[in-house]
Structure formats: C-alpha cells, structure tokens
Chains A and B, each alone.
Chain A
Amino acid sequence: GESVGLHLPTLSVQEGDNSIINCAYSNSASDYFIWYKQESGKGPQFIIDIRSNMDKRQGQRVTVLLNKTVKHLSLQIAATQPGDSAVYFCAEKKGDFQKLVFGTGTRLLVSP
C-alpha cells in the first residue's frame, strides 16, 4: 500500500557535524511534504515543508530536498547541536488536506 518510510531508524552524529535524514515515499500523487521534530513527551513540531513542484527548500540550518524521480525526501541539518536530538518524521499529504501520512521516524542522537 501507500506508505512513507525511513531508511535508518537511528542516526548518531557528533556536535557540529551535518546530519542527513532520509525518507522514501510511494505515492507519486502526493503534493506536499513536511518534516516534523518530536522530542520526548511532546507533540510533533513543524520544521520545514516543500511542495511537489519544488526540489529544494532552505530554512534556518535545515534544507529539504525532494527527488520525485526516485520518490525520495531528505532533511539536512547543518552544524547539528545537542538540542537537535529528537525523533524526526516525514509526512506527506495525500491529496486531501485532512490526512497527513507519517513515516515511522528516525531518532537523531547528537553527542557533545
């Protein structure tokens, strides 16, 4: 079935490194993708989004890349900090506003 998934369940990096979190999606009709950060005991927090008519979008220390050819989404975090440690989810909108489909998440561990 249609799904949004992640390649790596856990990513460990050193403080100051750049981090890349990957996500594969299967629904070529999806028109909007979002990355969320979720810290322990908290709800998902918006990081950055991208529409399907774009292939790159930059925010503060974060960049999202979209490759529609291979249905791949990535989140790049520059100069990773201990405060970036969390679980990161990609999500896709399946054509209707009401239903975001989330992946299972990647845990990012940042060591000082």
Chain B
Amino acid sequence: GAGVSQSPRYKVAKRGQDVALRCDPISGHVSLFWYQQALGQGPEFLTYFQNEAQLDKSGLPSDRFFAERPEGSVSTLKIQRTQQEDSAVYLCASSGRVGGLGTGELFFGEGSRLTVL
C-alpha cells in the first residue's frame, strides 16, 4: 500500500501475555519510529531505526519492550509479560530522510490499540 500499515489494529491481552505488533513502513523509507500514545495524551517517542540499526531506544519504558527491524523494512515491537499500564495505542511512523527533519516527512500509521486486562 501507499501508507504505513500496522497490524493488528486491535489487540486484547491478558496480563502477563506477550504481544507482538507489526509495522510495514512506506516502501523505501529509511527511518522508522515507534511512539506510544496513552488515552487523551500526545504520542511519546519509544525508539528509532535507521535501516536495520536501532539508533535510539531511550524511550522504551522497560526491558519488557523490545523492537527490531532485521531487514531494514518491516519492524516488530514486542512487549513481554504485558501489564495494565501498557494499554495504549502504539504508532509507527516512517520517513524517507535520515536527518534534518523537514516538511511533512514523518508519515504515521493508524496504530495498534493494545488493551491489557
């Protein structure tokens, strides 16, 4: 497709379960970001990839969160032993640029809504 695609759109997990969220960025986009958006809040940065390299993971809230992009295209965000506070929308965004953010270059997917019971 033409845009950033995320799956699943909705995920309900029992506390303690592991979940995996997938992001298909726009074809050819070098940069990929994951953001977490709690209800009624703005997105918060989690991690950033440039091709397959994870250059910044400072926003990951705990070591239960892990992200990968092994071939520099599709990315997966994995959350182990989910907790209720992990409930949020997880947004993926991609950009064709490496640096020097400019006009409208970050394209967001529709997000994966995670609910932990």
Hey, which bits of chain A sit against chain B, CB under 8 A?
4, 32, 34, 41-46, 49, 89, 91, 93, 97-105
Q: Are A104 and B40 in contact (CB under 8 A)?
A: yes
| Cα A97 to Cα B102 with chains together (Å) | 10
Chain A interface main SS type: strand
Contact count A vs B, C-beta below 8 Å: 57
State which of A46, A98, A104 has its C-beta within 8 Å of the C-beta of B56: A98
Bound-state CA distance A41–B6 (Å) is 13
Pair B109/A89 contact, Cβ less than 8 Å: no
Q: Which of B14-22, B43-51, B66-74, B79-87 contacts A (4 or more CB under 8 A)?
A: B43-51
Question: With A93-B101, A98-B55, A104-B40 in contact, is A41–B45 under 8 Å at CB?
Answer: no
Q: Which of B41, B55, B93, B103 has the most CB of A within 10 A?
A: B103
A102 touches B103 (CB 8 A): no
Contacts of B42 in A (CB 8 A): 4, 89, 91, 102-105
